[in-house]
Amino acid sequence: MAKKILVAFASKYGSTSEIAERIGEVLTSGGHQAEVKEVNRINDLKDYDAVIIGSAVYIGKWRKDAVRFMKVHEPELKTMRVWIFSTGPTGKGDPEKLLEGWNLPENVKPIVNSIKAEDVIVFHGSLDMDKLNGLHRFMIKKVKAPVGDFRVWEDIDAWARGIAEMMNG
């Protein structure tokens, strides 16, 4: 039976929203009804069977609106199936290795542990200097972060297909 799955995301420059849209497409093609929404446009979770929450990571932290979403909805999320993804590292190689071994910023670990997410993953991000504001451009140049689109769509698709299959079971 098809499940209704919310893909909630927080994105600054669009890369994370594109990943969320892709996850929604894969879930839909897997026989489920997926709704993809920005976290600050979600009032309640009562109509959903599961929630996937994703946020861009900047300076080692999730977007504030994504953290606020999880805190506000923590009681509901504890009773649901939940998956978590972060986006952000650029460059080649394993995203967790690029982030020195972590798959979730420290500022969200307590709440993710509290809601008992089924899986937590990090996807490569995309960095387009033309989209960045002046401060972010300055910071990227200073830390010499790799610029470009490093998202691995096959990994994103495979993760989303896995969720669709689990929801069928």
Average pLDDT over residues 1-19: 92
* Percent of the chain residues past pLDDT 90, beyond the cut: 61
Higher pLDDT, 124 or 167: 167
The chain-wide mean pLDDT, for the chain, equals: 88
Enumerate residues 6+ apart whose C-beta is below 8 A from 168.
30, 31
Whole-angstrom Cα distance, residue 153 to residue 102? 21
Whole-angstrom Cα distance, residue 88 to residue 57? 5
Q: Is the predicted pLDDT of residue 96 greater than 90, yes or no?
A: no
| Antiparallel, parallel or unpaired: β 33-38 and 4-10 | parallel
Whole-angstrom Cα distance, residue 3 to residue 1? 6
Long-range contacts of 127-135 (CB under 8 A, 24+ apart): 127/15, 127/90, 128/13, 131/13, 131/14, 132/13
- Closest to 50 (Cα-Cα) out of 69, 29, 32: 32
How many residues are recorded in the chain? 169
pLDDT in the model for residue 105: 83
The residue whose two tokens read 């069977």 is 49
Average pLDDT over residues 33-51: 96
Q: Is the predicted pLDDT of residue 154 greater than 70, yes or no?
A: yes
Q: Is the predicted pLDDT of residue 88 greater than 90, yes or no?
A: no
Whole-angstrom Cα distance, residue 121 to residue 131? 25
pLDDT in the model for residue 99: 62
Q: Is the predicted pLDDT of residue 133 greater than 80, yes or no?
A: no
Residue 85: count of CB within 10 angstroms of its CB: 25
Q: Is the predicted pLDDT of residue 129 greater than 90, yes or no?
A: no
Domain 4-168 has CATH 3.40.50.261: no
Phi-psi category of residue 116: left, alpha or beta, with phi > 0 → left and psi -120 to 50 → alpha: left
Q: Is the predicted pLDDT of residue 111 greater than 90, yes or no?
A: yes
- Closest to 41 (Cα-Cα) out of 57, 77, 61, 17: 17
Enumerate residues 6+ apart whose C-beta is below 8 A from 56.
10, 11, 12, 13, 15, 16, 62, 63, 86, 87, 88, 125
Q: Is the predicted pLDDT of residue 41 greater than 80, yes or no?
A: yes
pLDDT in the model for residue 119: 94
